[in-house]
Structure 1
Amino acid sequence: MKASVLVLVCCLLMPVAAEAVPFWGAKQSSPADTQPAALKPGEWIWGGDSKAMGPMAVLVSLTEQRAYVYRNGVLVAVSTVSTGKPGHETPTGVFTILQKDKDHHSSKYNNAAMPYQERLTWDGVALHAGGLPGYPESHGCVHLPSEFARRLFDSTNMGMVVVIARSGEAPERLVHPTAISPISATTGADDEAAPLPAGEAFRWQPEKAPEGVVSLLMSTADRRIFVYRNGVEIGRARIEFGAAGPPQGTHAYLVAAGGQPGRMPPWLRIGIPGHEEEARQPVSPQDVARVIAPGAFVAQVLPLLSPGVVLLQTDAHVLPETTGVKTQVLNADPPTL
């Protein structure tokens, strides 16, 4: 009898094993060339990220059931999501991250696990890992794939802007975003830049962001190159391509060390999902010369091309007059040199 009592006491004193937290969604990124519209529920693309690249912002399209992540004005990740079901609709508007809790459990819904929670409102709306059936089924939160939620949690800062948009309530450029951010990373406001007028080769406005990290985006479909500093567009130009034609697909490039003042610096390719074999490959001078930009524009950009600056290439349209709902995600993760 005493032995039985002793066993019972020992069992009562043993720690209760924590309930296993579910894992939702794909474990690895889809290739960077994947069209976001082709992502299946739970799938995502994470091209890479570095906080050194500049301010981050997130745009959630309730209509598309997708989240778009921008760093320094350029798309670096996209994911399928599941938002609020009827009666528990996810609110639209501009929010900021109020609180972060990696191992959060709900105080409202039976202690349900909400890993990598990033709170948007004090009454319970947040980004976090959760179920992804392919349609809105949450109680108002934005459910993300577990691995995507982990990476996003590690990349964000308190106070970061999150915009949630729905068709009929927001401009379509926010509902169906492209590879260039349609929102301000600091205020979340609709931040559409005017197109280049007919006959204008380029625009250069460095005073819009006098300092900060620089990134570039090139759309071979629209024949445009964009320059961002601290999340703000400071220039864009029309471009053409040499006899070899434009490069194809989604690729990323990094300015390498060893450049000379006033001359085009050396570039390295960045390995992104689906193109991992390109990591650290040098870009030949012939490939660099394929891109033809106005000389006066190049003269303005060259002093900004310090080692570590990233250029992101897409063959998708990004201009409002040419875009539909399709886009491509680009990478922003510098390789280890």
Structure 2
Amino acid sequence: MTPARAGVVVQIDKSSQRMAVSVDGMTRYSWPVSTGRNGYGTPSGVFHPQMMARRWYSRRYYNSPMPHSIFFYHGFAIHGTTELARLGGPASHGCVRLHPSHAAALFALVERSGPRNTRIEISNQRACSSEACPRT
């Protein structure tokens, strides 16, 4: 018996600050992200979306906007950011930040596939080689 595959797999590599998004086993996107800066870790592991919100504001950090939030572990989420210059380097309080258009695209993919058919993998290892990951 083979394990069921998630329709959407989101792989986040904290060492390269990149996200690869696969749909039905095919890599569709590779985007720069910002994960937790020094003193604010982003959890590693395998997760599934627990809650989604198109518009969310941080209750902990100055009511900061967190558009297209996909919460995956306690208060940690993947979401859009306005701090575009900081993408590609650790900058957050532990969340995974994306360009707003990338966050919207990911949100729509997860919404269509469903949280149960979405897996979020966070590690310190490259999600794919540069040849395997299209840069969009």
Query: TM-score range, shorter-chain basis?
Result: 0.7 to 0.9
Aligned-residue CA RMSD in angstroms?
1.5
User: Partner of 2:127 in structure 1?
Assistant: 177
Shift of 1:126: 0.5
Shift of 1:121: 1.2
Amino acid at match of 1:165: S
User: Partner of 1:107 in structure 2?
Assistant: 59
Which has the larger strand fraction?
A: 2
Shift of 1:110: 1.4
Shift of 1:328: 3.8
Amino acid at match of 1:65: Q
Shift of 1:107: 0.9
Shift of 1:93: 0.5
User: Partner of 2:3 in structure 1?
Assistant: none
Shift of 1:135: 1.3
Q: Tell me how far apart the structure 1 counterparts of residues 18 and 66 of structure 2 sit (CA, whole Å).
A: 19
Residue by residue over 1:120-178, the C-alpha shift from the partner in whole angstroms, topping out at 9 and shown as x without a partner, is 112x1100001241310100000000001001101102232100011xxxxxxxx2233
User: Partner of 2:19 in structure 1?
Assistant: 67
Larger Rg: 1
Shift of 1:101: 0.2
Q: Tell me how far apart the structure 2 counterparts of residues 176 and 94 of structure 1 sit (CA, whole Å).
A: 15
Q: Does 1:94 align with 2:46?
A: yes
User: Partner of 1:261 in structure 2?
Assistant: none
Q: Does 1:82 align with 2:34?
A: yes
Question: Could you tell me the percent identity over the aligned residues?
Answer: 30
Contact 2:12/2:127 (CA < 8 Å) preserved in 1?
no
User: Partner of 1:233 in structure 2?
Assistant: none
Superposed counterparts of 1:145-164, under 5 Å: 145-156=99-110, 157-159=114-116, 160-164=118-122
Q: Does 1:126 align with 2:77?
A: yes
Residue by residue over 1:54-113, the C-alpha shift from the partner in whole angstroms, topping out at 9 and shown as x without a partner, is 811100000110000001111011100000011101010111100000011111111110
Contact 1:59/1:164 (CA < 8 Å) preserved in 2?
yes
User: Partner of 1:22 in structure 2?
Assistant: none
TM-score, length of structure 2 as denominator length: 0.84
Q: Tell me how far apart the structure 1 counterparts of residues 58 and 89 of structure 2 sit (CA, whole Å).
A: 22
- In the alignment, structure 2 segments of 5+ residues that lack a partner are 1-5
Contact 1:89/1:139 (CA < 8 Å) preserved in 2?
yes
Q: Does 1:326 align with 2:130?
A: yes
Corresponding residue pairs, total = 122
Moved over 3 A (4+): none
Contact 1:177/1:327 (CA < 8 Å) preserved in 2?
no
- In the alignment, structure 1 segments of 5+ residues that lack a partner are 1-53, 167-174, 179-324, 331-337
Shift of 1:115: 0.1
Q: Tell me how far apart the structure 2 counterparts of residues 177 and 141 of structure 1 sit (CA, whole Å).
A: 18
Amino acid at match of 1:158: P
Amino acid at match of 1:56: V
Which structure is richer in relative contact order (CA contacts within 8 A, separation 6 or more)?
A: 2
Contact 2:79/2:98 (CA < 8 Å) preserved in 1?
yes
Amino acid at match of 2:7: P
TM-score, length of structure 1 as denominator length: 0.35
